[in-house]
Amino acid sequence: METLTLRRPDDWHVHLRDGEMLALAANFTARQFARAIVMPNLVPPVTTVAAATHYRDRIRHAVRPDHGFTPLMTAYLTDDIDADEIERGFREGVFTACKLYPANATTNSAAGVTDVKKLSAVFERMQTIGMPLLIHGEVVSPEIDIFDREAVFLETTLGPMLKDFPALRVVLEHITTEDSVVFVSEAGPNVAATITAHHLRIDRNDMFAGGMRPHAYCLPVAKRRKHREALRKAATSGNHKFFLGTDSAPHHKSEKESACGCAGIFSAPVAIESYAQTFEEEGALAKLEGFASEFGPQFYRLPLNDGTVTLERTAHAVPDVIEDGHIAIVPFHAGESIHWRLVD
Ligand code: NCD
Ligand code: ZN
């Protein structure tokens, strides 16, 4: 049987949720990844060192010990967050990075930042201490077309921010456009991007294939085919600026299949298999290890993982729905067959 062995990969952007969803989400991620950057968009958001420490404890408690999983925590930036609190969390090893959500850009972002100018002191401090800033890069103005919100953000917000803070270490999260690929490629070595498994496979047509497809809806929303092609090229290029971040974001099936369905795609159960399938389609399987296991830790200045994972070339069916107690979530690739399988 054909196999593919990789250094253990990490997920540089994931939503593990809290409460009853946490154990399910966290164990799917921990089965696949050694470490993950955990998003702080809980209700209420994770804005203090104490809240992040408690959340990290809940994650550690929820994950099976044999997974050997390390959650890396983030601080949720608000208009009035205190730079001293952020620096203290970073120095104590609680906060790995800060997350910038423009207010109301996405799920649980109402407490996010209304104007990046209000964060100057925080960005200044982060630049000084070398703390990464993870950005949901979309403008929120209702007059800007939803398919243009990422490209407009680069021009109106991120470009000027990087002029003011040229050494700030920035990860542009879950990029969806050719514009972002070009922006990040041309920026300095302090600017990188994560790419999800789903944005490498879906384009905006997939949301409307024969009817409305709520399980293909996430934010930033999938764009035209040409953008997906640019993302596939970037991910498989071997360029160290682009690395793996699933943005796996579980929502209850009933909340996706609704008159106002939630944004988010739950890819954690099949993430590395999905990336492998995409890289193989691009004739770039040899580039997967760098993208999944090396470029992320290099950017974050963390050691590479020890140990390996093995994928087997075996077709396996992805379930239509993943159920646990009264939780039901439709995973990415639901009802499809994937031809790589992670060996436990
Ligand atoms: C995420 C969520 O559900 O928390 N949703 C999504 O579509 N990606 C939030 C986010 O990362 O934008
Ligand atoms: Zn996310």
pLDDT tens-digit map of 188-233: 999 999 999 999 999 999 999 999 999 999 999 999 999 999 999 9
State the total domains in the chain.
1
Mean local confidence (pLDDT), 40-64: 98
Q: Which domain holds residue 107?
A: 3-342
CATH number of residue 166's parent domain: 3.20.20.140
Residue 7 has pLDDT above 90, yes or no: yes
- C-alpha 108 – ligand 1 centre gap (Å): 8
302 token code pair: 């963390």
Strand ranges (E), the chain:
3-7, 11-14, 35-38, 70-76, 95-100, 133-135, 170-172, 191-195, 242-244, 308-312, 316-317, 322-324, 327-329, 337-338, 341-342
Model confidence over 240-264: pLDDT tens digits? 999 999 999 999 999 999 999 999 9
Please state, in angstroms and rounded to a whole number, the distance separating the CA atoms of residues 250 and 318: 16
**pLDDT of 120:** 98
Q: Is the pLDDT of residue 323 over 90?
A: yes
pLDDT of residue 1: 77
Nearest ligand 1 atom to alpha carbon 136: 12
Mean pLDDT, range 314-341, rounded to an integer: 97
Is pLDDT at 150 greater than 80 in this prediction?
yes
For residue 5, report the distance from its CA to the centre of ligand 1, in Å.
30
Average pLDDT score over residue span 74-91 = 98
Q: What is the mean pLDDT of residues 14-40?
A: 98
Q: What is the mean pLDDT of the chain?
A: 98
Q: Is 198 in the pocket of ligand 1 (CB under 6 A)?
A: no
Question: What pLDDT is attached to residue 266?
Answer: 98
